[in-house]
Amino acid sequence: MNYFKIIGGKSLNGSVNIRGAKNSVLELMSATLLTAEPMILHNVPNLSDIQTLIDLLSNFGTSVEWDKENHIMKLHTPVIKSVKAPYEIVKKMRASIYVLGALMGRCGEAKVSSPGGCVIGQRPVNIHLLAMEALGAKIEIHHGYIVGEAPSMNGVRRLQGGIISGLVRHQNGVAITTHGGSVNAIEAAVLAEGETVIEYVSIEPEVDDLINMLNKMGAKISREIKDGVNIVRIQGVEKLHGCEYSVMPDRLEAGTYAVAAAMTSGCIEICNADVSKMENFLDKLKEAGVKITNTDNGFIVDARNVKIKSVNVEVSQYPGFPTDMQSQFMTLMSIADGVSILKETVFENRLMYVPELVRMGADIRILGDNTAKFTGVKKLYGADVMASDLRSGASLVIAGLVAEGETILHRVYHIYRGYENFVENLRSLGANIEVLKEDIE
Ligand code: EPU
């Protein structure tokens, strides 16, 4: 197993190219199951989660050619050979659940291992299943598998258009809609018979990326807002055709490098990023005192000679402050001038990085109810720390970049799931970081 050794103290300067969004490409790859024609995706990042999804799709009969250097992927599923998504693959990656909607849409049946909980929260899929049922599917759980069957007419199974209204749940007074449940509902409905209306649908940019690609494939999907409720309306079609599509830039990767610049009092040009999808996060960075200048294809983060100010953060769904940027931004707050209060609202267990930061000298108190008080300290100190998920891993690297002495980050495989060439990019910006091999597995 690899680990990272980081010697803090170097300011990061230069430019970095942002790749396609992990959370988008996983949806887009699953959606290619909806057509028998070849598909070509551009701007596909080289991530371990994508390899996991390739393994899963191969199981259904998809042939995949991946030109990693040019970030191009060709996928072709002329025939679905099996509708089973096995536990061995699904357990590695929760986004595997996206194949449920695609298989139900194309074949009218699916047998997908239930993904189970994960370290950032329980993450149930009950709402995904309700969406399938709203389209007429019979859903049962058998021996850990979600088994779905669409109604059958003349021997052909096909979902029936309907109204999907339960994508939202209320948690501590906050309405949380499900991103993944929206993806599955849309994938399932595009080939269903008749019209489907999906209420309280997620408006995250990655969901729009999926809608745009499906429309390019011949789907009929439109968005509207009715009485303040976000709605997607879909006219089911008989079949979809292949197309070429370019994955949207990763707003979370861009945000992570922006925090790295702010943390190290550096100046980084972030290229191939879409600032229009990052407004809330960038506003918070500005509030912290960092200078942000938009460019033709991204932005410049300039934190030279800046004393970082404390900023309160309440996570909420898009267009609010993203949960996937929470740990990185709060790592910056751990060295800010003053006190910041954090409230996480999307996942119930996304403060796992806090005890690790405290080991590095941060002054953070968990107040309960998913809130925490960050009192900025003058300095962090290198220590052995452990990544518990992708974003916490990136955050601990960022902490290591300014910590005095040596930080050893364990379980770095989480980082390879979502950041292409993270170490190489940081090194090219001036960081002192290297990848080493653990003696003990
Ligand atoms: N929820 C339910 N029931 C459901 C589905 C969700 O109660 O059936 C709850 C979840 O437990 C959570 C909340 O609803 O508390 C929102 O979860 P959501 O379904 O929106 O999250 P997701 O689809 O599982 C995706 C991203 C996450 C990102 C969230 C929110 C992918 C592969 N994952 O997860 O990304 O945090 O949306 O934006 O797209 C990451 O990239 O590090 C990551 C975790």
Residue linked to tokens 């191969």: 58
Q: Is the CB of 391 under 6 A from ligand 1?
A: yes
Question: Which pLDDT score is estimated for 186?
Answer: 98
pTM above 0.95?
A: yes
Task: Take atom 19 of ligand 1 and give the residue whose Cα is closest.
Answer: 178
- Please measure the distance between the N-terminal and C-terminal CA atoms of the chain and give it in whole angstroms: 6
Q: In whole angstroms, what is the distance from residue 148 CA to residue 212 CA?
A: 27
Question: Which pLDDT score is estimated for 440?
Answer: 57
Residue linked to tokens 């309907």: 162
Question: Which pLDDT score is estimated for 120?
Answer: 81
Q: Is the CB of 256 under 6 A from ligand 1?
A: no
Mutate to test the pocket of ligand 1, among 178, 187, 201, 422 (most ligand atoms within 8 A of CB): 178
Q: Is the CB of 319 under 6 A from ligand 1?
A: no
CA 203–ligand 1 middle distance (angstroms):
13
Task: Take atom 44 of ligand 1 and give the residue whose Cα is closest.
Answer: 324
- Mean pLDDT per block of 10 residues along the chain (441 residues) reads 96 98 98 98 97 97 98 98 96 94 98 84 90 98 96 95 87 80 98 97 97 98 95 98 98 98 98 98 98 98 98 96 98 98 93 97 95 98 96 98 98 96 98 88 51
CB 259 within 8 A of CB 394: no
CA 325–ligand 1 middle distance (angstroms):
14
Tokens of 108: 């009218």
Please report the atom of ligand 1 found closest to the CA of residue 49: 32
Question: Which pLDDT score is estimated for 117?
Answer: 64
pLDDT tens track for 130-171: 999 999 999 999 999 999 999 998 999 999 999 999 888 776
Task: Take atom 5 of ligand 1 and give the residue whose Cα is closest.
Answer: 125
Per residue, what are the HEC states of the chain?
Answer: CEEEEEECCCCCEEEEECCECHHHHHHHHHHHHHCCCCEEEECCCCCHHHHHHHHHHHHHCCEEEEECCCCEEEEECCCCCCCEECHHHHCCCHHHHHHHHHHHHHHCEEEEECCCCECCECCCCHHHHHHHHHCCCEEEEECCEEEEECCEECCEECCECCEECCCEEEECCEEEECHHHHHHHHHHHCCCECEEEEECCCCCHHHHHHHHHHHHCCCEEEEEEECCEEEEEEECCCCCCCCEEECCECHHHHHHHHHHHHHCCCEEEEECCCHHHCHHHHHHHHHCCCEEEEECCEEEEECCCCCCECCCEEECCCCCECHHHHHHHHHHHCCCECEEEEECCCCCCCCCCHHHHHHCCCEEEEEECCEEEEECCCCCECCEEECCCHHHHHHHHHHHHHCECEEEEECCHHHHCCCCCHHHHHHHCCCEEEEEECCCC
Task: Take atom 18 of ligand 1 and give the residue whose Cα is closest.
Answer: 178
CA 120–ligand 1 middle distance (angstroms):
10
CA 123–ligand 1 middle distance (angstroms):
7
As a residue count, the chain comes to: 441
Mutate to test the pocket of ligand 1, among 123, 200, 208, 415 (most ligand atoms within 8 A of CB): 123
Question: Which pLDDT score is estimated for 416?
Answer: 95
Question: Which pLDDT score is estimated for 172?
Answer: 67
Please report the atom of ligand 1 found closest to the CA of residue 24: 39
Active site (catalytic) residues: 118
Task: Take atom 37 of ligand 1 and give the residue whose Cα is closest.
Answer: 179
* Bridge partner residues of 270 (DSSP): 16, 299
CB 5 within 8 A of CB 433: yes
Question: Which pLDDT score is estimated for 258?
Answer: 98
CA 54–ligand 1 middle distance (angstroms):
21
CA 178–ligand 1 middle distance (angstroms):
6
Q: Is the CB of 433 under 6 A from ligand 1?
A: no
CA 154–ligand 1 middle distance (angstroms):
37
Q: Which residues contact 49 (CB under 8 A, 6 or more apart)?
A: 22, 26, 93, 95, 417, 418
Task: Take atom 14 of ligand 1 and give the residue whose Cα is closest.
Answer: 178
Q: Is the CB of 390 under 6 A from ligand 1?
A: yes
Q: Which residues contact 359 (CB under 8 A, 6 or more apart)?
A: 383, 384, 385
